[in-house]
Amino acid sequence: MTTASSEPRGELELIRRLAARFAPPGAARGAVDFGDDMALLDPSGPLLWTVDMLMDGVDFDSRRHAWDAVGRKAMAVNLSDCAAMAVAPVAALCAVALNERLSMADAETLIAAADACGRQYGCPIVGGDTNSWAAPTVISITVAARARSGAPPVRRDGARPGDTVWLTGPVGGSILGRHLTFEPRVTLALELAARLRPHALIDISDGLALDLSRILTASGCGAELDAAALDAALHADAARLAAEDGRPAREHGLYDGEDFELIAVLPSDVPESDAAALGLRPIGCIVADRGLWLASGEGPPEPLPVRGWEHFR
C-alpha cells in the first residue's frame, strides 16, 4: 500500500478515474451512461442492475440500530436506485461479511428483512454470498430491474432549460431516523414516468445539491432553485436538526444525504396540477447557465456551493 498525501482523493475523483478507464468518451456502452443510478445489463432488452454496500459504523450503527432495520435499509437503497431510473425491480443478490460475534439469529434477521423489503416491491433475494470476519459487518445487495414496456429507463442527461424541478417529498434531517425507515419511491416513480414523461430523474442519496448537480452535469445545464419553494419543501426534521446544531434548516435540506426522495425534472408543458396530483412539490427550474443557483427574489440568483456526502476523502 502506498499513500501520497498530495494526490487528489475522494469518491468522486475515484469514480471519475474509473469512468474514464471503463467508459472512455465515444465508447459505445449501450443506452445508459457509466455512473448513472443503474448499469445496463442486457443490451438486447431493458434489464438494468445496481449494487449498494452498507458498512457498520458508516451507513448504520449496530449498537443503536436493530438488524431488521439495517437489512431493510440495505435493500431499500437499491430499490431507490430503481426508482431513480423508473424501472421495476425483479430480483436481488445479497453478499455479507458478518462480524463473527453476530448471532445466527441476527444474521438471519438482517438478510430476511432485506428480502421482506424487496418482496414488497416484487424483488426477492435469489442468491448471494455469506462470509464472516473479525471486522464490522458489511452488507452488499445487487438488484436487477426491468423497464416497463414502452417506458424506457429515465436517465440523468435529459434536463433542458425551461424544464421544472420537483421533489417527491420533503428533505433534510434524515439522520434523525428517516435514513433507516424511508420508503423507496418505486411505485411513484413508475407512475410518474408513465404520466409525466420526466426528462431526468435521480434519487437523493448524497444530498439534494450534489445529486441535482449530477443531473446538471450530465445534461450540460444549470438549475435555479426558488428559496421560498425550497423552504416549503424542507422536512420537519431539517428544522429539528437546525435547532440542535444551529445551522440553517435550508442547509440541511440542500446538503444532508439519504433522503431518498426523487428529484424529477419535468418538461415545461407538464401542467403543475398534474405534478401536484402525484404529490410532487416544485423547487425551481432548469436554466442554461451551468451551476446551481438560489433565487430569493432580491437581486440576482446567488451561486450555491455543491457539496454533499462523499466517501474516500
3-state SS record for the chain: CCCCCCCCCCHHHHHHHHHHHHCCCCCCCCCCCCCCCCEEEECCCCEEEEEEEEEECCCECCCCCCHHHHHHHHHHHHHHHHHHHCCEEEEEEEEEEEECCCCHHHHHHHHHHHHHHHHHCCCCEEEEEEEEECCCCEEEEEEEEECCCCCCCCCCCCCCCCCEEEECCCECCHHHCHHHHCCCCHHHHHHHHHHHCCCEEEECCCCHHHHHHHHHHHHCCEEEEEHHHHHHCECHHHHHHHHHHCCCHHHHHHHCCCCCCEEEEECCCCCHHHHHHCCCEEEEEEECCCEEEEECCCCCCEECCCCCCCCCC
CB of residue 180 vs its own copies: minimum separation in angstroms?
16
CB of residue 144 vs its own copies: minimum separation in angstroms?
5
CB of residue 95 vs its own copies: minimum separation in angstroms?
4
**Smaller CB distance to its own copies: residue 28 or 273?**
28
CB of residue 202 vs its own copies: minimum separation in angstroms?
15
Which residues, other chains included, contact 33 with Cβ-Cβ below 8 Å and sequence gap of 6+? 23, 155, 156, 157, 218
- Rounded CA gap, 182 and 196, in Å? 24
**Smaller CB distance to its own copies: residue 98 or 165?**
98
**Smaller CB distance to its own copies: residue 47 or 176?**
47
**Smaller CB distance to its own copies: residue 139 or 265?**
139
CB of residue 181 vs its own copies: minimum separation in angstroms?
20
CB of residue 138 vs its own copies: minimum separation in angstroms?
5
**Smaller CB distance to its own copies: residue 63 or 300?**
63
CB of residue 69 vs its own copies: minimum separation in angstroms?
13
**Smaller CB distance to its own copies: residue 27 or 297?**
27
**Smaller CB distance to its own copies: residue 10 or 248?**
10
What does the chain come to in residues?
A: 313
